[in-house]
Amino acid sequence: MNAISLNNLDISYGDSKVVHGVTLDIAEGESFALVGESGSGKSTILRAIAGLAPDWTGEISVLGKARTHGIERAVARQVQMVFQDPYGSLHPRKTIDAALSEPLAINGIGNRGERVETMLKAVGLDQRFRFRFPHQLSGGQRQRVAIARALMLEPKVLLLDEPTSALDVSVQAEILNLLKRLRREQGLTYLLVTHNLPVVSFLCDRLAVMRHGRIVEVADVAQLKSGQLAEAYSMELLAATEGHAGAAA
């Protein structure tokens, strides 16, 4: 079964259509990247899959179930989103304990204290962080909390929108390692948006290159690593990425 299946997906904001005819299958357990210049529609696709972009046509299926335009709690539990800015996505006046307990409370799940402790451990945070507030944590620690929060309902799919690009370079590697380990341990499927092609090489199996709301090319990470992307635009993107400049020359 595909974790995510998009068929001829168009997405608009008001009168302006920003995603055009996107068709894409992502297998269960796969880690898939969307790359492309700013404004190419990557985040918009994640939002539509998460049910946060109301104005779309075409088909979106999650784990074999077609999404409708209504609110679907069952689909929502299976697919969780992690955003770029962990400070913006955590309520400043709620403790970490409250942030992690909330999805459980909303869904009527008990044993909350124990589940919060287990999840803190899973994302590599000491229990002493449990009753702290977001501003008492570093950026990397906050992103660990945001990832923990996304995992509280045991989803199958994580939608990751530039999850490390707001972090210091030294912290990025820690979070990437964490994401790699969590995917392995929990059998997760990732759909990851990033500007950073080394991140794609580290964490993903395949990628789609996007431009102006369309998919230019779908490729394996092996092709990315060997600098053998098919489309001229993809090669331009590769050449523009620091450390890969030589590959396209």
Q: By C-beta, is 39 or 64 nearer to ligand ADP?
A: 39
Told to check if 196 binds Mg ion by CB under 5 A, we report no
Q: By C-beta, is 36 or 155 nearer to ligand ADP?
A: 36
* Cα–Cα distance for residue pair 180/8, rounded to 1 Å: 30
Using an 8 Å Cβ cutoff, are 79 and 159 in contact?
A: yes
Q: How far apart are the first and last CA of the chain?
A: 40
Query: Can you name the residues that pair with 54 across neighbouring β-strands?
Result: none
Binding partner selected for residue 140 from ligand ADP, Mg ion, none, CB under the kind-specific 5 to 8 Å limit = none
Question: Where do contacts with ligand ADP occur on this chain (CB under 6 A)?
Answer: 13, 18, 36, 38-44
Shortest distance in whole angstroms from residue 124 CB to Mg ion: 26
Q: By C-beta, is 156 or 195 nearer to Mg ion?
A: 195
Please identify which residue in the block is written with the tokens 């620690």: 141
Among positions 40-79, residues that touch Mg ion (CB under 5 A) are 43
Q: Token digits for 11?
A: 């997405």
Shortest distance in whole angstroms from residue 51 CB to ligand ADP: 15
Shortest distance in whole angstroms from residue 33 CB to ligand ADP: 12
| Alpha helices (H) along 18-127 | 42-50, 73-78, 86-89, 96-106, 112-122
Q: By C-beta, is 165 or 228 nearer to ligand ADP?
A: 165
Binding partner selected for residue 67 from ligand ADP, Mg ion, none, CB under the kind-specific 5 to 8 Å limit = none
Q: DSSP code of 230?
A: S
CB atoms within 10 A of CB 186: 13
Residues at the interface with Mg ion (CB under 5 A): 43
